[in-house]
Chain A
Amino acid sequence: MASWLSDPFAYTFFARAMIAGVLVGAMCGALSVFIVLRRMSYIGHGLAHAVLGGVAVGLVLGQDMYLGAVVATVVAALLIDRISRRRGLHADAAIGVVTTAIFALGVATLSVSPERINVEAVLFGNILGVNPTDLWVAAGVGVALLATLVVAYKRLVFATFDPEVAEVHGIRVGGSEIVFNLLTAAVVVASVRVLGVLLIAAAVVVPGAFARLVSRSLGAMLGIATMVGVGSSVVGLYASYHVDVPSGPAIVLTATAVFAVGFVGSALVGRSAARARRAGPAGVEGGVEHAHSHEGPLVG
């Protein structure tokens, strides 16, 4: 078992991939809490598609992969914000229009270009391809995300919970949405090498969804989602190395397995709590008049 864990580290590429995986897992996990609470799960999917478009156009033009990805996701994030402010249009429509257009542009560019690009690595992630630049990018985005969460945490939570009132109370909700979209774009770009564009969407949703199932405090949600993100990356990268599957699917399948356990577990806990309430007054919360009949799987 020990050699199963230590042998891969004989290879520099694996050590690099593990560092990148841990960073990406932590970032995606923390961000996923806000993505789930904002009901914006579609944005990870959309921005990842925009990344593919940007990467393709960038590489065909002889530019660095990251340059194309950054330009594409920043443009996509700003356009999504602009379009979703239009009366009658919501973020989901904006994401659908903008990101698929950039994706289509990338596919069209690839099809007419003589350049050969390893599309599979871009789509599904490739731990063999993690280079020092990827580590610096992941570390830089991680620092930016952490700094933003520390400085803007209260404002971000208020704008997420009750944007209407947050605005009245002096929070620049529009500005916080732009910052959030740009941060999401940065995390998506930093995750491309490890996760691949098609699977980033799951990485920025599943940890937050699991944390929401098993926790009822925002602080705990952030901690749990970050741990699930990191844990899924570690387990997934080992699986990727030993079973020889792309790193993206291995990480996402690990996170999904954790979510499935949480889903079943919280349902069982909810059922036994309901049974205890029916059984006697000891299970009834004294003096609380429940105006809303929410049946939620919250525990903890």
Chain B
Amino acid sequence: MGSSALHLDGVTVGYGGPPVLTDLALEVGRGELVGIVGPSGAGKSTLLRLITGRDTTHRGRVEVLGAPVPRHGAPGGVGYVPQLESIDWDFPLTVEQVVLLGGAATSRRLPWFSRAERRRAAAVLERLGMAGLEQRHIRELSGGQQQRMFLARALARDSELLVLDEPTSGVDLATRRDILALLGELRDEGLTVVLTTHDLNFVAAHLPRIVFLNGLITADGAPREVLTPAVLHATYGTPMRVVHDQGMVLVVDDAPVLAPGRAVPAGEP
């Protein structure tokens, strides 16, 4: 078993036009918690597709958990958590059924799951603080619970590497904190976590390591090292300031985006 959870070397991806990712090199060790940040179109989703074996058009070397990503099929040991917005929440499934589906590929060829599989799903849900919610319909969950359910689905197949696409998108501040804390706990248990986020202040700044991406890697390191105006400008192409306050790093706009407006009294057209 190698020490690397993720190893990319000389990876270039293009879809007939200019490359989305160019000569990418990235190493993520086992047990790391890493955030990928960058503007829209920077190649974050493409990078996740590479890691999860859903892109076979790339050039270069992609190894996941010590093995090359197969050209056809997904790498083993990878759990993927999609964006909540991509899910049909009215789909007629319970929390338990969603978690059980995580093991569908290796489950026996019958329409129902075994008692052992159900026990295992219940144990994973309990581990993530979801005990008692097994029979809830998925639309009855809060945003944080929905994320936990998908994490449980990923863990139900013995994932060693968790890949999350915008896990804090569309959730409130308290839920965001809960999700980050949970990912930290999973990292402490030995899992490797790679996530993408647009949220520099409330997510990326809390992570031990951030990778800035904009077609290529513009910076890679701890937030205090890489959250700098120069890196932000190189990645996002817009001037931003970085404020250090009580040990925290905060990214703020360089200047007000809109000119101060005139207050319009109520009733005035």
Contact = CB atoms under 8 A, between A and B. Distances in A.
Interface of A: 37, 87, 149-155, 157-158, 161-162, 164-172, 212, 215-218, 220-221, 285, 288-292, 294, 296, 298
Most chain A Cβ neighbours within 10 Å, of B53, B74, B86? B74
B106 interface: yes
B143 A291 contact: yes
Contact of B139 (A152, A170, A217, A296): A296
Interface stretch (B107-115, B179-187, B202-210, B256-264): B107-115
Given A161-B101, A164-B54, A291-B143, 16 more contacts: A161-B91, A162-B101, A165-B82, A166-B104, A167-B52, A169-B80, A170-B73, A171-B105, A218-B92, A285-B140, A288-B140, A288-B142, A290-B140, A291-B141, A292-B143, A294-B139
Contact of A212 (B73, B92, B98, B140): B92
B98 A161 contact: yes
B69 to A, nearest CB: 11
B174 to A, nearest CB: 10
Contacts of B137: 216, 298
Interface residues of B, number: 52
A298 B90 contact: yes
A215 B137 CA distance: 11
A207 to B, nearest CB: 14
A126 to B, nearest CB: 36
Nearest to A173: B54
A179 B103 CA distance: 21
A172 B74 CA distance: 9
Contacts of A288: 136, 140-142
Contact of A216 (B78, B92, B150): B92
Most chain A Cβ neighbours within 10 Å, of B82, B87, B91, B143? B91
B90 A296 contact: yes
A168 B52 contact: yes
B16 to A, nearest CB: 8
B97 interface: yes
Contacts of B170: 291
A162 to B, nearest CB: 7
A164 B104 contact: no
A292 B139 contact: yes
B90 A169 contact: no
28 contacts: A87-B15, A152-B109, A153-B110, A153-B111, A154-B111, A154-B113, A155-B104, A155-B105, A157-B104, A161-B87, A161-B88, A161-B98, A164-B82, A168-B53, A168-B78, A169-B79, A169-B103, A169-B105, A172-B73, A212-B92, A216-B92, A216-B137, A218-B97, A220-B92, A288-B142, A291-B170, A296-B90, A298-B90
Interface in B130-185: 136-137, 139-146, 150, 153, 157, 163, 170-171, 175
A294 B89 contact: yes
B95 to A, nearest CB: 12
Nearest to A297: B90
Contacts of B88: 37, 161
Contacts of B109: 150-152
Contact of A157 (B89, B94, B101): B101
Nearest to B156: A169
Given A151-B109, A285-B140, A162 B82 contact: yes
Contacts of B163: 168
B88 to A, nearest CB: 7
A34 to B, nearest CB: 12
A158 B54 contact: no
Given A149-B111, A291-B142, A170 B90 contact: no
A151 B104 CA distance: 11
A149 B112 CA distance: 11
Contacts of B102: 169
A291 B90 contact: no
Contact of B171 (A155, A164, A217, A291): A291
B248 interface: no
A169 B89 contact: no
A162 B104 contact: no
Contacts of B76: 170
Contacts of A150: 109-111
Contacts of A221: 92
B93 interface: yes
B13 to A, nearest CB: 14
Contacts of B80: 164-165, 168-169
B141 A170 contact: no
B105 A164 contact: no
Nearest to A220: B92
Contacts of B52: 167-168
B97 A169 contact: no
Contacts of A217: 92, 94
A288 B139 CA distance: 11
A242 B11 CA distance: 70
